[in-house]
Amino acid sequence: MVKRNKGSGGAPWLATFADLMSLLMALFVLLFAMSTIDVPKYKAIVESLTEALGHGSELTPEQRQFFQSLEKSDIAIIEKIQPKTEQVKTDNIAQQSLKPLYEQLQSLYQQADQNSEIRISYNAEENRIQLVFPEQIAFDSGSAELKSHFIELLQKLYRFRDQQIALQVLGHTDSQPIYGGRFHSNWELSSARAASVIEQLIADHVIRPDQAQAIGLADTRPVDKADTAQAYAKNRRVEILITPDSFMP
């Protein structure tokens, strides 16, 4: 009886090796999806794997099309992150000195209330305007309701809605504790006063809500630490800080 020769099916380990190569390729694809790829470097890796798997070093048409789409995507991303001309101009506006605005505000408030104790200053190093309104101009004692004359003074501020301007309103009190009334502490009173100023500025369309911050500081930043009625009066105040806002869209 003649025995038939069994056909050569290849070594059993080749199937395992092929599976391993497939998993390795899947790993590289996963790494590609999770990271920023250097297209030429990744292309070289694929060519090396293709050659190792016995398909030659040339890329298939599908692989070539894939890398061409990657290169086009890189160009699109670079164009997207390049600043536009209008955006650069806006950034320059944010870096301009606020001193001219300070001089205008100073003249405006001097004409509006020559006998008031409103203090206006400009910090050139920080490019910041500071307006300080004493309590007797802004609020009744223990109240967060704006006086009518103070509202008129706030309405004289320039319209900042469409400018790269940010406003911080800081409420300050003296160190005397509060007894009775609507507010239980100087923290509540100073915060409510700062918020009232912001709400008035928004209602009068001077600023947008995203340009504003209201901060209550109670008696933590006194301008006069003396234990006198005059010192207490100086410490009860509202500050408005005007700065460029480079984070506006």
pLDDT at 24: 79
Say yes or no to pLDDT of 192 above 80. yes
For 127, left (φ over 0), alpha (ψ -120 to 50), or beta?
Answer: left
pLDDT at 117: 83
Average pLDDT value for the chain: 79
The CA distance from 109 to 86, in Å, is 34
Residue with tokens 């630490």: 225
pTM equals: 0.61
Higher pLDDT, 64 or 170: 170
Q: What percent of the chain has pLDDT over 70?
A: 65
Torsion of CA 235, 240, 242, 245, to 10 degrees: 110
pLDDT at 78: 44
Say yes or no to pLDDT of 84 above 60. no
CA 110 vs CA 28, 101, 104, 113, 156: distances in Å: 71, 14, 10, 6, 12
Other beta carbons less than 10 A from residue 189's beta carbon: 24
Alpha helices in 82-216 (DSSP H): 85-94, 99-112, 135-138, 148-155, 186-203
Bridging pattern class, strands 212-216 and 128-134: unpaired
Domain 91-244 in CATH 3.30.1330.60? The answer is yes
